[in-house]
Amino acid sequence: MSGGVDSAVAAARAKDAGHDVTGVHLALARNPQTYRTGARGCCTLEDSRDARRAADVIGIPFYVWDMADEFHASVVDDFVDEYAAGRTPNPCLRCNEKIKFAAVLDRAVALGFDAVVTGHHARLGADGLLRRSVDLAKDQSYVLAVLTRAQLDRAVFPLGDSTKERVRAEAAERGLAVADKPDSHDICFIADGDTRGFLEGRLGSAPGDIVDGRTGARLGTHNGAYGYTIGQRKGLNLRVPAEDGRPRYVLSITPVTNTVTVGPREDLEVDTVTATRPIWHEASASVRCDVQLRAHGEVVPASVTVAAGELTARLETPARGVAAGQAIVAYRPDPGGDIVLGSATITAGTRESAHA
Amino acid sequence: MAYLDHAATTPMLPAALDAYATAARAIGNPSSLHAAGRSARRMVEESRERIAAVIGARPSEVIFTGGGTEADNLATKGVFWARRDADPGRRRVVVSAVEHHAVLDAVGWLGRHEGAEVTYLPVDGTGRVDPAGFAELVRAHGDETAVVSVQWANNEVGTVQPIAELAALAAGAGIPFHTDAVQAVGQVPVDFAGSGVAALTLTGHKLGGPVGVGALVLGRDVACTPLLHGGGQERDVRSGTLDTPGVVAFAVAVETTVRAREQYAERVAALRDELVRRVLAAVPDAIHNGDAEHRLPGNAHFSFPGCEGDALLLLLDAKGIYCSTGSACSAGVAQPSHVLLAMGADDARARSSLRFSLGHDSTEADLDALLAALPGAVERARRAGAWKTPR
Ligand SMILES: Cc1ncc(COP(=O)(O)O)c(C=O)c1O
């Protein structure tokens, strides 16, 4: 229970469903004062109190579990390492994979609990299939697709059938004071939302070149390649304008040479995505389906093949802004909510067919 | 249900509750001059006298406060300020390493904000301060010491300190000695004058009185700068309208528990000994912490190797057994107990501890309930103990 509205309503619903529910708040900050304060985000003392108050209203026991060390090792350090390696991590996904459905779940099972209930917006019904939430704008199946079958078997998501609006209304009906608490959006361990500043503090400044992907010409300098994300347009501060005057985008990041490569928008387009560490729930290792390449990103049809610990997706329409480190999640469209077939961590996006 | 957390708070005595209700029906501010005020004043002053009588103090030495935390803050900060203001060379504050946070954090604040130099007296493996070490400190730094505070008895492991001996050493050097006797009053003999301390804290809710009322017993000649300024109701050292019903009920509780102390202690210590015996029989590798001889009668404190105290608490709570891992923490995150660490325990052992504390309504049935749940909880918590290993 983060102290937000979703987990509070999820806990209340689980209790109503007849489960013997215990509320757990995760203390993730080594020093709570260094994490975001105020109503947004997670891990503040205020959030812990909000969560406890919600548990009291619901009428369930409540405990704080100190997972600061695990969170630091598995999520924060991983986040920094991934950026240093030129990839773009998703810390929420990593937290689900390593903390909520691993460290927390393991401890809970050892203590005699059967499952972990969270306030994620996704559906996980009797058929055991993970599906998108009815509220597509709030859907979190993308950051849950990393869960294995064994993890899903011990997960309960009571909110997938409700819109966020409905969840808020229900929280108010239940007398939960968190009903109108703002949503958290940003990365909880970056207090001021300044990711680049956070990384610079961790990695130090490492000046290098920004080069043109087509000509190889040096267009400018940067203070650390980790400050850039594939597809980024703003904040490049290039001294040399493009000949055609069109905007340029980050195409790739090469940590070995500490270069950021930029180019025109069409050079961002990829039609083949390779990915590693696949989690695959589908019987067939080769399917036509939809793929999503980043959180809240567009969905494109593709042919996906899983073989030898690798996932390859041939996209039927090219996609832009495909960054290594993000997840590729495969969905089968379904009227009962698109079904997650599997996911993997993107290693590369390439262009095989010629530009149209 | 088995309530084994009397050291956290203990039920109000029926007599105290009745006295509270009666006093709460009456009107009157004890500072008012009219008949209603005089009647309230009379109740307050009679209460003061009753408390003074059973703890060996003069009535004028009893200063009512809003509980133990306030009294501890008043004693440590107030005496520090007064002594430092009288002689700027006196900046040292000496406390034991196992004080309650009400003392520890108050003097920590003095260190950070008021230029105090805080010295922590070490304790031995049972949690006792060594008087010889304290004597040494007084010899070396007596002149520059503003105030000393050593608790009468520890709230976690129940160890009782050699207060009279320590107080005599301080008195010999002219240093005011405060003791937090919150856990001691009604449990072990406490005599303010006889012990030779300059100031003593007690609180209502640990001895059958209400929460939010307590007292600092402060010798007449001990200078103390107020924390709270205002009407100066309590000897000009503490301001605020007195809580007449709270004070009345507090006095009834103090008087009743102190008078009944001997029989109480005998009965509860026997029950506690049985608890310890049964726990050690059920969990043979459990470690009973604290001092066998100098110990509160209702306190039993164990480390359960391989368990997180946190996990045990959760599992026992689910079975209706209420106990504690030590001092509760505001953010709810379990920190290894500073008391256990000061006693030489390592982090893992400190984190694996649990306190069971008995009180006036504890019975054999509470022990039966505990022993029915404990072995299973320990086994489970041990399995969960592996959760910390990195994946
Ligand atoms: C040793 C000791 N000192 C001080 C206190 C604080 O007293 P109160 O709860 O009345 O503020 C307690 C209890 O919490 C205690 O056990």
**pLDDT tens by residue, A246-292:** 889 999 999 889 999 999 998 999 999 999 999 999 999 999 999 99
Chain A residues lying within 8 Å of B391, measured CB to CB: 74, 98, 102-103
B67 lines ligand 1 (CB under 6 A): yes
Please state which of the ranges A68-72, B10-14, B154-158, B171-175 shows the lowest mean pLDDT. Answer: A68-72
B151 Cα: distance to centroid of ligand 1 (angstroms): 11
CB contact under 8 A, B387 and A103: yes
- Residue A246 buriedness (CB in 10 A; 0-12 / 13-18 / 19+): exposed
How much of chain A exceeds pLDDT 90, in percent? 72
DSSP conformation class of B386:
G
Q: What is the pLDDT of residue B228?
A: 96
The number of beta carbons lying within 10 Å of the beta carbon of residue B389 is 9
Instruction: Say if residue B51's pLDDT is above 70.
Output: yes
How much of chain B exceeds pLDDT 70, in percent? 96
Cβ–Cβ < 8 Å for B152, B183: yes
Alpha-carbon separation of residue A219 from A244, B260, B328 (angstroms): 14, 88, 59
Chain B residues lying within 8 Å of A28, measured CB to CB: none
Q: What is the pLDDT of residue B333?
A: 67
Q: What is the pLDDT of residue A329?
A: 98
Q: Kindly report the average pLDDT of chain A as a whole number.
A: 91
How much of chain B exceeds pLDDT 90, in percent? 94
Q: Closest Cα of chain A to B375: distance in Å?
A: 13
Please give the model's pTM, rounded to 2 decimal places: 0.85
> Quick one: tokens of B317?
């709570």
Which amino acid, B261? R
Assigned fold of B2-9+261-384: Aspartate Aminotransferase, domain 1 (3.90.1150)
Where residue B389 falls among pLDDT bands split at 50, 70, 90? very low
Where residue A39 falls among pLDDT bands split at 50, 70, 90? very low
Residue corresponding to tokens 């008195």: B171
CB contact under 8 A, B387 and A22: no
Assigned fold of B14-259: Aspartate Aminotransferase; domain 2 (3.40.640)
Report d(CA B268, CA A35) in Å as an integer: 47
Instruction: Say if residue A94's pLDDT is above 70.
Output: yes
Q: Which residues of A157-187 are buried (b: 16+ CB within 10 A; e: fewer)?
A: bbbbebbbeebbebbeebebebbebeebeeb
Cβ–Cβ < 8 Å for B63, B263: no
Where residue A354 falls among pLDDT bands split at 50, 70, 90? low
Domains B2-9+261-384 and B14-259 share a fold: no
How much of chain A exceeds pLDDT 70, in percent? 95
List the residue whose alpha carbon is closest to atom 5 of ligand 1. Answer: B68
The number of beta carbons lying within 10 Å of the beta carbon of residue A257 is 12
Q: Kindly report the average pLDDT of chain B as a whole number.
A: 95
Q: Where are the domains of chain B?
A: 2-9+261-384, 14-259
Cβ–Cβ < 8 Å for A254, A86: yes
Q: Is the dihedral of CA B362, B158, B151, B263 positive or negative?
A: positive
List the residue whose alpha carbon is closest to atom 9 of ligand 1. Answer: B68
Q: Domains (ranges, CATH) in chain A?
A: 5-180 (3.40.50.620), 206-267 (2.30.30.280), 269-350 (2.40.30.10)
The CA-to-CA distance between both ends of chain A, in Å, stands at: 49
Chain B residues lying within 8 Å of A61, measured CB to CB: 314, 317-318
Q: What is the pLDDT of residue A244?
A: 78
B99 lines ligand 1 (CB under 6 A): no
Summarize pLDDT for B327-364 with one digit per residue, the tens. Answer: 555 445 667 899 999 999 999 999 999 999 999 999 99
Alpha-carbon separation of residue A351 from A316, A320, A322, B10, B180 (angstroms): 12, 11, 11, 73, 75
Strand partners, B118: B93
Strand spans (E) along A218-298: 218-222, 249-254, 259-263, 270-280, 286-292
Interface residue of B312, B314, B335 to substitute, partner A, most A CBs within 10 Å: B314
Interface residue of A21, A60, A63, A77 to substitute, partner B, most B CBs within 10 Å: A63
> Which candidate, B295, B316, B293, places its Cα nearest to that of B304?
B316
